[in-house]
Amino acid sequence: MVNSNSTKPQKTALLLAQRIVRDIEQQGLGPGEKLPPERLMMDSYDAGRGTLRESLRFLELQGVLSFKPGPGGGPVIRRPTADSLGTTLALLLQFDHARYRVVVEARAAFEPLMAQLAAERITADRLGELEQTLVDMEAGLTDAEVYLDANRRFHRTIAWASDNSLFGFLVDAMVGAMDISGHTQGIEYPARRRQSVLKAHRGIYEAIAGARPAEAGEAMGAHVGEYLAYAERKYPEALDKPITWNI
């Protein structure tokens, strides 16, 4: 007996896209390498031209492929980024009428764990990157653009230093599509606020560098909590702004 609640079969083009990605992985192909010509792929996958092109177009939209024009051109493998994830998240939140507050609340939930894991797992290279964000942030105390860039890189570096790629991609998506600093929502960082954030970042860095997970998590929790309190006090309207997909 067929279950009436069973999901519909996936479209042929999506199933073919999955096969292509699986073959890329199994064959050890990497960014910059080309896929076979269209005719060979049609024969190899026993697929029509329309289905194959739909599959390749889907993979292009997901950042897996790009297309090189001209003679000798064709589909070229890329390394996907968090851009597609950021777009999807922003659209989902926009259609759910979500406010910027949900971004801050989510950060308060997972960033302390990220900091704990980073204190346990960070590599020497990542630690150097994290320290550089402090140097750049201090240099940007009188330059908002430099300061905000260093601020975002600090949180992204910790996310990837956690050695948990889901955290890494999630924070990349939030930085790119929703601006975790809140600046695009209208939250400003006057000189006194910049000094306060820099001090908090230094405390988190020292706990991570000293391999003190509990302290790192507590410091990050306090930092994000203080950010929410600051926004509530100074820019409540920014927290209530709807999230929209911007490019």
Tell me: the pLDDT tens digits for 136-178? 999 999 998 999 999 999 999 999 999 999 999 999 998 877 7
Q: Distances from the Cα of 32 to the Cαs of 67, 75, 78, 170, in angstroms?
A: 11, 10, 6, 25
- What is the C-alpha separation between 40 and 188, in angstroms, rounded? 56
State how far the alpha carbon of 136 is from the alpha carbons of 73, 151, 153, 220, in Å. Answer: 41, 9, 10, 19
Q: Which amino acid is at 226?
A: E
Q: Per-residue pLDDT tens for 75-86?
A: 999 998 888 888
pTM for this structure?
0.84
Supply the pLDDT for residue 73.
Answer: 84
Residue 179 confidence (pLDDT) = 80
Query: In this predicted model, what pLDDT tens digit does every residue of 95-112 receive, in sequence order?
Result: 999 999 999 999 999 999
Q: Which domains are present in the chain?
A: 12-77 (1.10.10.10), 83-239 (1.20.120.530)
